[in-house]
Amino acid sequence: MTAALFAGCGGGGGESKSVPVGVAEPKPVDTADPLYRYQWYLENRGQDALADTLPTTGVDLNIGTLHKDNVRGAGVQVAVIDEGLEIAHEDLAANVVAGGSTNFIDNSTDPTNFGFQGDHGTSVAGIIAAVGWNAKGGRGVAPEAKLRGFNFLEAQSDYSLFNSWGEGSSSQADVFNNSWGTPRNAPPAVSQNEVEAFEKRMQASRNGKGGIYVKSAGNSFENDRGRTNACDDAKEFKLGCIPANFDDTNSYAYVITTAAVNAKGVRSSYSSAGSSMWVAGFGGEYGGQKKYFKGDNPRSVNFDPAIISTDQSGCEQGENRNRAAPRNDLDTDASAIDKSCNYRSSMNGTSAAAPMVSGVAALMLQVNPNLTARDVKAILATTAKKIDAAQALVTFRGLTLDPGWSVNKAGHAFSNWYGFGLVDATQAVKMARTFASLPALQDTQVQTYAGAPVDIPYLNDKGGAASIAIAQAMKVETVQLGITTTHQAPANLRAILTSPGGSKSYVLTPFSAAAAMPKGSAGFFIDFMASNAFLNESSAGTWTLQLTDVRDPTKVIGAKLVTWNLRILGH
Predicted local confidence at residue 512, as pLDDT = 93
Do 368 and 448 fall into the same domain? no
Do 453 and 380 fall into the same domain? no
212, 177, 571: which is closest to 373 by C-alpha?
212
Does 42 fall in a domain? no
Do 277 and 374 fall into the same domain? yes
Which tens digits make up the pLDDT trace of 132-190?
999 999 999 999 999 999 999 999 999 999 999 999 999 999 999 999 998 788 888 99
Question: At 17, which amino acid appears?
Answer: K
Do 142 and 76 fall into the same domain? yes
Do 360 and 493 fall into the same domain? no
Do 290 and 146 fall into the same domain? yes
Q: What is the CATH number of the domain that holds 449?
A: 2.60.120.260
Does 339 fall in a domain? no
All residues at 6 or more sequence positions from 154 whose CB lies less than 8 Å from its CB, including other chains: 83, 84, 104, 105, 113
Contact 186, 11 (CB under 8 A): no
* Angle, helix 350-367 to helix 425-434, in steps of 10 degrees: 30
Helix residue spans in 403-462 (DSSP H):
425-434
Do 474 and 369 fall into the same domain? no
Q: For residues 231 and 35, what is the distance between their CA atoms, to the nearest angstrom?
A: 37
Does 413 fall in a domain? no
Helix (H, G, I), strand (E, B) or coil at 302: helix
If you write DSSP's letter for every residue of 499-544 in order, what string do you get?
Answer: -TT--EEEEE-SS--PPPPPTT----EEEEEEE-TTTT-B--EEEE
Q: For residues 560 and 146, what is the distance between their CA atoms, to the nearest angstrom?
A: 52
Number of folded domains in the chain? 2
Q: What is the CATH number of the domain that holds 253?
A: 3.40.50.200
Does 162 fall in a domain? yes
Q: For residues 342 and 236, what is the distance between their CA atoms, to the nearest angstrom?
A: 40
Sign of the Cα pseudo-torsion (232, 234, 237, 238, in order): negative
Does 91 fall in a domain? yes
Predicted local confidence at residue 225, as pLDDT = 63
Q: For residues 224 and 229, what is the distance between their CA atoms, to the nearest angstrom?
A: 9
Do 380 and 446 fall into the same domain? no
Contact 219, 8 (CB under 8 A): yes
Question: Where in the sequence is the domain holding 121, given as residue range(s)?
Answer: 1-13+72-304+348-384
Strand locations in 121-263 (E): 146-150, 175-178, 180-181, 212-216, 255-261
Q: What is the DSSP letter of 87?
A: T
All residues at 6 or more sequence positions from 444 whose CB lies less than 8 Å from its CB, including other chains: 470, 472, 539, 566, 567, 568, 569
Does 400 fall in a domain? no
Does 183 fall in a domain? yes
- pTM here is 0.94
Q: Which residues are catalytic?
A: 82, 120, 351
Measured from the Cβ of residue 45, the count of other Cβ atoms closer than 10 Å reads: 12
Do 152 and 293 fall into the same domain? yes
Q: For residues 283 and 443, what is the distance between their CA atoms, to the nearest angstrom?
A: 34
Question: At 344, which amino acid appears?
Answer: R
Do 368 and 469 fall into the same domain? no
333, 276, 261, 317: which is closest to 22 by C-alpha?
333
Do 363 and 462 fall into the same domain? no
Do 172 and 103 fall into the same domain? yes
Does 429 fall in a domain? no
Per-residue pLDDT of the chain (571 residues; tens, 9 = 90+): 544 454 444 434 443 333 233 333 344 445 589 999 999 999 999 999 999 999 999 999 999 999 999 999 999 999 999 999 999 999 999 999 999 999 999 999 999 999 878 899 999 999 999 999 999 999 999 999 999 999 999 999 999 999 999 999 999 999 999 999 987 888 889 999 999 999 999 999 999 999 999 999 999 999 876 565 788 999 999 999 999 999 999 999 999 999 999 999 999 999 999 999 999 999 999 999 999 988 887 899 999 999 999 999 999 999 998 877 888 999 988 899 999 999 999 999 999 999 999 999 999 999 999 999 999 999 999 999 999 999 999 999 999 999 999 999 999 999 999 999 999 999 999 999 999 999 999 999 999 999 999 999 999 998 999 999 999 999 999 999 999 999 999 999 999 999 999 999 999 999 999 989 998 899 999 999 999 999 999 999 999 999 999 999 999 999 999 999 999 999 9
